[in-house]
Amino acid sequence: MAPRKPSATPALGMYPRVRMRRNRIDTWTRRLVAENTLTASDLIWPVFVREGKGVREPVASMPGVDRLSIDLLGEAIGEAKTLGIPVIALFPAIDQAQKTEDGDEATRPGNLVCRAIAEIKRTVPDIGVMVDVALDPFTTHGHDGLLRDGYVVNDETVEVLCRQVLVQARAGCDIISPSDMMDGRVGAIRTALDEAGFQHVRIMSYAAKYNSGFYGPFRDALGSKGTLGGKDKGSYQMDPANSDEALREVALDLEEGADMVMVKPGMPYLDIVRRVKDGFGVPTFAYQVSGEYSMLKGAIERGWLAERVVLEAMMAFKRAGADGVLSYFAVEVAKRLKSG
C-alpha cells in the first residue's frame, strides 16, 4: 500500500470537535466570516449613448439595456451616482452616415462621445467617466483600427488613437480605456496625454482582451455587428487558448504606463483574473460582457435561473481577485445591495 501523501492544506481539527456548519448557522455569523465582500463601489456601469433627443431605445439582444440620447444621460447617471456607483463607462452608437473607412469621426471634437462626456460632467460632475478608445464604433468595416488590404495595421492605428484620446480628454473624461489591442498603444497614449497636459487622466487598459464569441449583443448595441462581414478580430485580440500570453500583455501595458488593467470577457476568464492579480498586485478589473449579461438575463426572465445568480456571479469576480467589475447589471446590483 502506497504511503498517504500529506494534504496541501492540513486539517485544523477533526469532526465532531470541528463542525464547519457552526459558522453557517446564522446570517450574522456568515457575514462575520465572509472572505469577500461586494459593494456598489466595486461596480462600473457601461452606458450606451446615441444621437437624438428624448430617445430611450431598447437593445433587443440585451433585455433591460437601452441606448440613451444625451439629454437623458443626466437622470440615468444621477441615479447610479446616488446608488454609490463610482464610474460609468461610455459607449457610442454612431449613426451609419457618420461612419467612414478610417473612422475619422472618432477624432472630431464635438462628436457624440465628447458631447456626452461634457453633459455628464455638467449634470453629475462627481462621477467618474471612462471612455473606450478604439475605432470600431466609427468605421464602416467594424474593426478597431485602420484596415489596409484586409489587415488591421498597428502603428498607423495607434497614431489615430492618440488623436482620439486627446479630444476625449479635452471633453473632460477621467479614465481612458484602450480596447483596440494594438501593440504599443498604451505607451503612445500616455505620452500624448502627458505632453498635452493631461497627466491626471488615468488609463485602464483592456490588457487581456480575448477574441471571444461573447461580444455579439454589444455589437448589436453599437450597430457594428453586420459590418464585420463574418470576419473576426483574431489578428489583434487574444486567442482564448492562451493564458501566459495574457501575463505578457499585462506586463507590457503596466510598463507603458497603465494605471489599471482589465480582463475581458469576465466569467469564462476568471483564471486570467486570478493570475493577473496574483502576478502583479495592481488594480485589476473584469468586464462581464454583453453575452454574459444576456445569458443570465434571458434565463432569469424565463424562470430557468433565480435572480440570486446575478450577485453570485459578481462575487465570483471578487473571489477571483477583481477589484471591480464592469457590468450591465451594475444599477440592479447596487439597488439590491442598498436594500440589503
Sign of the CA dihedral 294, 295, 298, 300?
A: negative
The verdict on pTM exceeding 0.75 is yes
> Which residue ranges in the chain fall short of pLDDT 70?
1-11, 224-226, 229-230
Q: Tell me how far CA of residue 153 lies from CA of 145, 163, 190, 234, in angstroms.
A: 7, 16, 20, 13
29 occurs within a structural domain: no
Q: State the CATH number of the domain containing residue 107.
A: 3.20.20.70
275 occurs within a structural domain: yes
26 occurs within a structural domain: no
189 occurs within a structural domain: yes
pLDDT score at 1: 43
331's enclosing H/E stretch is helix 330-339
**Where do the H-state alpha helices sit in 196-289?**
216-222, 244-256, 270-280
- 14 burial level (CB within 10 Å; 0-12, 13-18, 19+): exposed
Placement of cell 494534504 in the chain: 7
pLDDT score at 228: 73
Active site residues: 209, 264
**Rounded CA separation 204/283 (Å):** 9
Contact at 8 Å (CB) between 46 and 91?
Answer: yes
Q: Which long-range contacts (C-beta less than 8 Å, at least 24 apart) are formed by 183-188? A: 183/154, 184/154, 184/155, 184/158, 184/256, 185/133, 185/157, 185/158, 185/161, 186/252, 186/253, 186/256, 186/257, 186/258, 187/255, 187/256, 187/257, 188/158, 188/159, 188/161, 188/162
Encode 291-324: b = buried (16+ Cβ within 10 Å), e = exposed.
bbbbebbeebeeeebeeeebeebbbbbbebbbbb
53 occurs within a structural domain: yes
Question: What is the domain range of residue 51?
Answer: 38-339
pLDDT score at 230: 62
Q: Whose CA is closest to 107, among 58, 60, 152, 146?
A: 146
Number of domains in the chain: 1
The three cell numbers locating residue 317: 469576480
25 occurs within a structural domain: no
* pLDDT tens digits along 94-138: 999 999 999 999 999 999 999 999 999 999 999 999 999 999 999
